[in-house]
C-alpha cells in the first residue's frame, strides 16, 4: 500500500489550531539524523529506528517520548547495508550485505559470522527474528523460507526447516508473527505462515481480488498495495485495488481466509494507519483522512472526511528560545524544520500502525485521535458512546467525555428512548469490563470473571516503494536520513494469534454464520484468528454527518476522583454514574423530577438485565424522586420486588419519604427489620414513643446495643409512673448488673418522687 504523498501542502493553514480535524500529529517529531547515514531501517521486533554509517549503527527507541530519545550505537565494519535487525534479546546484530549474504555480530564479543545462500540462483528478499520455539531467525528468499536456530556455543546458525515455494515479495509484522508470501504472474496468490508460540502454522493459500482495466487485463499487485494490520486483536490484510478504487479487507481464520468487504477510496494514492483500533484511510491526493471502526458491523465512516493537522508546530518565533541553549541549529536543520508543516508530502511514508516517516528530513510523527472532536461531530449519541467506550489509549479522556455526554443529554431533556439507548451502552460496557477483568481496580466483580483476555494493538509494517521486492517491517528507506518507526508497547512475547477461539471458521459458519465474535484475543494461543464473515460491500454514507457540539462534555468533572475505580478502561461504574451524572443533574433539574426519575428507572432496568451492582445512592435518589412525584405505588412495587435493593440508606430514605405516606414508612421499618438492623429499628421505635414495643423487640431479638437510658427517658417523658416502673423492672430482670448502674438508682429516685405505689 502506497505510503507516500503526491504533492506538498503549503505551510499556511496547517500551523494553527483553528481548523477542524479528527486526527492530528504532534510536534516535535523524533529526529533520526546522524552524519554519514546510509539510510534508515525500522526494526519492529524491538521497536527501534536504525541508521547505519560506515562504521557504526545508531538506534533510537520508539516506545518512549520522542524528544527524550537518545540514540545508542554499535560498531560495525565497512560494507553495503540492505537490511538491519537486532535479535529480540539485543545480543546479536544482523546486516544483509547483499542478495546472497547476511552478516551477524555478537555484540558482547564483537565476533562475526556470515550466512550465505547455497545457490547463487537464490535471492534473499529479507529476514526477520522471531520468538518461535522452533527457530530464531527466518530468511525469505525467492525460493521460499529458511528457518534457522542460533547455536550460541558454535556461534553459528543451524538450518531447522525449509519451505519451498516461489516468492515475488513478502510482508511481515512482528506483532502478528505473520508472514505473507506473494507469488504468481500477478502477485495476487498468497501463502501465509504464523510463527506462533507453539510452532509454525501454515495458513490456507488464497488469492486477492483484482479488477481488470481496459488497457491492462492482468494488473500486477505491488507490495505497497498490501498491508497487514491488527484491529481489536484480529489480524487483517488490506489490499488496494486501484482499478476498482476499493480497499479490500481480509481476515484470517484457522482454516480459511475470508474477504470481509471493501471500503471505497477516492484518490490514487492511499495509505492506512491504525490508532487505538480505529482504521484511518488517508486519501493522500485529497489530503483528508477517513475513520472506520471495524468492530461494528457497519462499514460506514465514523465521521466526515477531514484533513490531518499538525499541533504544536514549530514557528519562527521559537528560534529565540534555542539561542540560550548549548544546541545550535545548522542552516540545513532550520530548512528541514520549515518543511515540518507540509501535510502529505512527497517523502511521507506511513508506518503501521500509527506513525509517519518523513523520509527526506528524517522525521518521525505519531498519529493521534482527537476524541473530543470525534464525539462532537455526530448527533448519534449512542453510537458516539459505543465508540468512546472501546477506546483504550486515552481511556481517561474517553470516560470523561462519556460522563459529560450522559449528563448533557439528560439536562437537554432528550427523548427518553435516546437516553435509554445511551444508558444501555454505558451499563453494558461496564458489565463487560467486570466480566473480562479489564484493568479493574478497587471494584469487586459482581459475577466471576471469565478467563483473562487481552487486546493487542496493531504492529508495524513498512511499505517501501523504492524497491521492487517486498520487505518486512525492517525495510530500507532510501533518501538517506529518513526515519520510520512503529510505536507499539506490546512486548516481544505478546502478540495476536490467528485464532482466538476454539472453533474453526467452518465450524462457526455451521453454528451461526453471522455471529459477531469478541474483540479480544488470547495471547500465546496456537490457533488462527476467527472473525465474523460479513462480506457485504461498504458504501459511503449518503450525507455528511450532522455536527452537534457539546462544548461542555468534559466540564465540572473531577478527574482525580473520576478515574479511581477503573484504569485503562472507559467503563463508568455505578458510583461514578451517581457522582458525576445523576447527582449534578438533580441539582440543575430541581423542577423536573418526573423526567429524571424516568431516566434513573431505565438505568435500574438496564443494570438489572446486566446483573451489575447499583450504588445505594442511586436507589436513595430514585426513592426521593418517586416520592416527590407522588409515585408511591410504583415505589412500593420497586421495593417489594427488590428492584431497589435493601440497604440501610434505602431504609432511612423510605422512612423520610414516607413521613406523609404510612405505607412507604412501613416499608422502611420492615427493611430495617429484614436487614437485622436491630439497633436502628429499636431507636426509631423509641423516637416515635413506642418504647413498650421496643422492649418486646429487644427481648425477642436479644438486642444489647441500645442504652437502657433511652428507654427510661422515653418512659419518663410519658409522665406515666406505671410505665416507667415497668421499664425499670424489665431491665432489672433481664439485664444482669443493671441494679448496680447509676441509671437504676437515678430513675428509682425519680419513680419514688412521682409517688408511685409500684415497687420497682
pLDDT in tens, 369-381: 999 999 998 889 9
pLDDT for position 561: 56
> For residue 550, which phi and psi values (nearest 5 degrees)?
-120, 80
pLDDT value at position 743?
Answer: 78
**DSSP three-state, residue 712:** helix
Q: Positive or negative CA dihedral for 360, 363, 364, 368?
A: negative
Q: Mean pLDDT check: name the lowest of 81-95, 122-136, 650-664, 685-699.
A: 685-699
For β-strands 23-26 and 308-311, DSSP reports them as parallel
**Mean pLDDT value across residues 64-92:** 88
Give the per-residue pLDDT at 128.
96
pLDDT at 567: 59
Of the ranges 63-72, 293-302, 654-663, which one carries the lowest mean pLDDT score?
63-72
pLDDT in tens, 244-299: 999 999 999 878 899 988 999 999 899 999 999 999 999 998 999 999 998 876 78
Q: Which of 156-165, 309-318, 719-728 has the lowest mean pLDDT?
A: 309-318
The pLDDT tens digits for 307-337 are 998 887 544 444 333 333 333 444 444 444 4
Smallest CA-to-CA distance from 35 within 65, 1, 71, 85 is with: 71
Q: Which long-range contacts (CB under 8 A, 24 or more apart) does 16-22 make?
A: 17/309, 17/311, 19/307, 19/309, 20/306, 20/373, 21/306, 21/307, 21/308, 21/309, 21/370, 21/373, 22/289, 22/291, 22/302, 22/303, 22/306, 22/369, 22/370, 22/373, 22/374, 22/377
Alpha-carbon Rg for the chain, nearest whole angstrom, is: 35
Which of these ranges, 87-96, 295-304, 667-676, has the smallest mean pLDDT? 295-304
Give residues with Cβ within 8 angstroms of 49, minimum separation 6.
30, 32, 40, 41, 42, 43, 59, 60, 62, 364, 483, 484, 485
More confident residue, 397 or 345: 397
pLDDT at 418: 95
Task: Find all residues with CB under 8 Å of 65, minimum gap 6, and list them.
Answer: none
pLDDT in tens, 201-253: 999 999 999 888 777 678 899 999 999 999 998 999 999 998 899 999 999 98
Q: What is the DSSP letter of 138?
A: E
494-498, 539-543, 698-702: segment of lowest average pLDDT? 539-543
- 602 closest CA partner among 449, 444, 414: 414
**Cell 443493671 -> residue:** 738
| Residue 67 pLDDT > 80 | no
* Cα–Cα distance measured from residue 45 to residue 61, given in angstroms and rounded to the nearest whole number: 11
Angle between helix axes 742-753 and 721-734 (nearest 10 degrees) is 150
- pLDDT at residue number 464: 34
Question: With contact defined as beta carbons under 8 Å apart, do 209 and 250 qualify?
Answer: no
Whether the CB-CB separation of 622 and 616 falls below 8 Å is answered with no
Dihedral angle sign, alpha carbons of residues 713, 715, 719, 724: negative
The answer to whether 438 and 430 are in contact (CB under 8 A) is no
* 440 close to 452: Cβ distance less than 8 angstroms: no
**pLDDT of res. 91:** 93
| Per-residue confidence (pLDDT) for residue 7, from 0 to 100 | 34
**What is the average per-residue pLDDT within 471-496?**
39
pLDDT at 357: 82
Check pLDDT > 90 for residue 689.
no
Residues 175-191 have a mean pLDDT of: 93
Q: What is the pLDDT of residue 714?
A: 76
Reported as a pLDDT band with limits 50, 70 and 90, residue 693 is: confident
Position 488 scores a pLDDT of 36
Handedness of CA 397, 400, 406, 407 (dihedral sign): negative
Query: Does the pLDDT of residue 582 top 80, yes or no?
Result: yes
Q: Which of 42-56, 83-97, 285-299, 717-731 has the lowest mean pLDDT?
A: 717-731
Q: 477-506 as b/e, with b when 16 or more CB fall inside 10 Å? A: bebebbbbbbbbebebeebbbbbbbebbbe
What average pLDDT does the chain have? 77
Residue 649 has pLDDT above 60, yes or no: yes
In contact, 345 and 8? CB cutoff 8 Å? yes
> Does residue 139 surpass a pLDDT of 50?
yes
CA 355 to chain centre: 18
Which residue has 405505588 as its cell numbers?
633
CB atoms within 10 A of CB 107: 14
Q: Output the nine-digit C-alpha cell for 757.
A: 405505689
> Burial code of 647-685, b = ≥16 C-beta within 10 A, e = fewer?
beebbbbbbebbeebeebbebbbbbbeeeebbebbbbbb
The strands making up 257-264's β-sheet, listed across from edge to edge, are 226-231, 234-241, 246-252, 257-264
Inter-CA distances, 566 with 378, 449, 556, 557, Å: 26, 15, 19, 15
Instruction: Provide the percentage of residues in the chain whose pLDDT is more than 70.
Output: 75
pLDDT of residue 760: 41
The CA distance from 462 to 252, in Å, is 21
Segment 180-187 mean pLDDT? 94
How far does Cα 221 stand from its chain's mean position?
34
Structural domains of the chain in order of their starting residue, each with its CATH number: 23-315+331-372+458-477 (2.130.10.10), 381-453+555-641 (no CATH), 678-753 (no CATH)
Give the chain's end-to-end CA distance (angstroms, integer).
99
Q: What is the pLDDT of residues 20-50, one digit of tens each?
A: 889 998 888 888 888 888 888 888 889 888 8
Higher pLDDT, 547 or 278: 278
Amino acid at each position: 500500500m502506497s505510503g507516500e504523498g503526491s504533492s506538498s501542502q503549503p505551510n499556511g493553514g496547517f500551523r494553527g489550531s483553528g481548523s477542524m480535524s479528527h486526527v492530528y500529529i504532534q510536534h516535535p517529531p523524533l529526529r533520526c539524523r546522524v552524519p554519514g547515514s546510509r539510510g534508515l531501517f525500522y526494526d519492529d521486533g524491538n521497536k527501534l529506528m536504525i541508521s547505519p554509517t560506515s562504521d557504526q549503527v545508531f538506534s533510537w527507541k520508539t516506545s518512549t517520548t520522542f524528544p527524550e530519545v537518545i540514540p545508542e550505537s554499535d560498531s560495525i565494519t565497512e560494507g553495503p547495508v540492505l537490511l538491519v535487525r537486532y535479535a529480540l534479546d539485543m545480543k546479536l546484530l544482523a546486516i544483509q550485505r547483499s542478495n546472497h549474504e547476511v552478516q551477524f555480530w555478537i555484540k558482547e564479543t564483537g565476533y562475526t559470522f556470515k550466512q550465505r545462500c547455497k545457490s547463487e540462483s537464490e535471492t534473499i528478499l529479507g529476514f526477520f527474528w522471531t520468538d518461535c520455539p522452533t527457530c530464531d531467525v527466518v530468511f525469505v528468499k525467492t525460493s521460499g523460507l529458511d528457518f534457522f536456530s542460533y547455536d550460541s556455543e558454535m556461534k553459528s546458525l543451524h538450518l531447522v526447516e525449509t519451505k519451498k515455494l516461489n516468492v515475488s515479495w513478502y510482508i511481515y509484522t512482528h506483532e502478528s508473527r505473520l508472514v505473507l508470501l506473494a507469488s504468481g504472474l500477478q502477485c495476487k496468490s498468497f501463502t501465509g505462515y504464523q510463527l506462533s508460540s507453539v510452532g509454525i502454522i501454515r495458513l490456507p493459500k488464497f488469492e486477492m481480488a483484482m479488477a481488470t482495466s481496459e488497457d491492462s487485463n492482468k494488473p500486477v499487485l505491488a507490495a505497497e498495495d498490501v498491508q497487514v494490520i491488527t484491529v481489536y486483536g484480529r489480524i487483517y490484510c488490506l489490499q488496494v485495488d486501484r482499478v476498482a478504487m476499493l480497499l479490500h479487507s481480509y481476515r484470517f481464520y484457522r482454516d480459511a481466509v475470508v474477504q470481509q468487504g471493501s471500503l471505497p477510496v477516492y484518490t490514487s494514492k492511499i495509505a492506512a494507519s491504525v490508532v487505538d483500533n480505529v482504521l484511518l484511510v488517508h486519501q493522500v491526493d485529497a489530503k483528508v483522512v477517513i475513520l472506520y471502526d471495524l468492530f461494528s458491523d457497519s462499514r460506514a465512516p465514523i465521521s466526515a472526511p477531514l484533513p490531518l493537522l499538525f499541533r504544536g508546530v514549530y514557528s519562527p518565533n521559537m528560534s529565540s528560545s534555542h539561542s540560550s541553549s548549548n544546541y545550535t541549529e545548522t542552516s540545513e536543520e532550520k530548512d528541514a524544520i520549515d518543511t515540518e508543516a507540509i501535510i502529505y508530502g512527497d517523502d511521507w511514508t506511513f508506518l503501521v500502525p500509527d506513525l509517519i516517516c518523513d523520509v527526506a528530513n528524517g522525521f518521525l510523527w505519531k498519529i493521534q485521535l482527537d476524541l473530543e472532536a470525534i464525539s462532537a461531530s455526530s448527533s448519534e449519541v449512542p453510537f458516539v458512546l459505543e465508540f468512546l467506550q472501546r477506546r483504550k489509549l486515552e481511556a481517561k479522556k474517553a470516560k470523561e467525555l462519556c460522563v459529560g455526554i450522559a449528563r448533557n443529554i439528560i439536562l437537554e431533556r432528550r427523548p427518553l428512548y435516546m437516553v435509554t439507548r445511551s444508558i444501555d451502552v454505558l451499563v453494558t460496557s461496564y458489565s463487560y469490563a467486570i466480566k473480562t477483568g479489564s484493568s479493574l481496580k478497587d471494584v469487586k466483580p459482581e459475577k466471576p470473571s471469565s478467563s483473562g483476555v487481552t487486546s493487542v494493538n496493531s504492529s508495524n509494517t513498512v511499505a517501501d516503494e523504492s524497491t521492487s521486492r517486498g520487505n518486512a517491517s525492517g525495510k530500507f528507506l532510501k533518501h538517506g536520513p529518513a526515519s520510520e518507526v512503529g510505536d507499539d508497547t506490546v512486548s516481544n512475547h505478546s502478540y495476536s494469534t490467528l485464532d482466538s477461539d476454539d472453533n474453526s471458521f467452518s465450524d462457526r459458519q455451521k453454528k451461526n454464520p453471522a455471529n459477531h465474535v469478541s474483540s479480544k484475543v488470547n495471547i500465546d494461543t496456537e490457533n488462527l484468528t476467527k472473525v465474523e464473515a460479513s462480506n457485504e460491500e461498504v458504501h459511503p454514507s449518503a450525507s455528511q454527518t450532522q455536527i452537534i457540539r457539546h462544548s461542555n462534555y468534559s466540564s465540572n468533572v473531577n478527574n482525580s476522583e473520576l478515574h479511581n475505580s477503573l484504569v485503562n478502561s472507559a467503563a463508568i461504574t455505578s458510583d461514578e454514574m451517581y457522582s458525576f451524572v445523576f447527582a449534578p443533574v438533580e441539582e440543575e433539574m430541581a423542577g423536573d423530577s418526573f423526567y429524571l426519575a424516568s431516566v434513573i428507572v431505565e438505568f435500574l432496568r438496564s443494570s438489572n438485565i446486566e446483573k451489575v451492582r447499583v450504588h445505594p445512592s442511586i436507589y436513595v435518589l430514585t426513592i426521593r424522586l418517586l416520592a416527590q412525584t407522588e409515585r408511591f405505588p410504583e415505589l412500593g412495587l420497586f421495593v417489594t420486588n427488590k428492584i431497589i435493593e435493601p440497604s440501610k440508606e434505602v431504609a432511612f430514605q423510605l422512612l423520610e419519604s414516607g413521613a406523609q405516606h404510612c405505607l412507604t414508612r412501613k416499608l422502611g421499618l420492615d427493611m430495617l427489620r429484614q436487614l437485622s438492623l436491630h439497633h436502628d429499628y429499636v431507636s426509631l421505635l423509641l423516637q416515635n414513643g413506642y418504647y413498650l414495643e421496643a422492649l418486646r423487640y429487644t427481648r425477642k431479638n436479644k438486642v444489647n446495643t441500645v442504652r437502657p437510658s433511652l428507654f427510661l427517658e422515653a418512659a419518663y417523658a410519658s409522665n406515666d409512673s406505671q410505665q416507667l416502673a415497668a421499664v425499670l423492672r424489665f431491665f432489672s430482670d433481664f439485664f444482669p448488673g443493671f441494679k448496680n448502674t447509676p441509671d437504676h438508682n437515678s430513675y428509682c429516685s425519680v419513680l419514688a418522687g412521682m409517688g408511685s405505689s409500684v415497687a420497682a
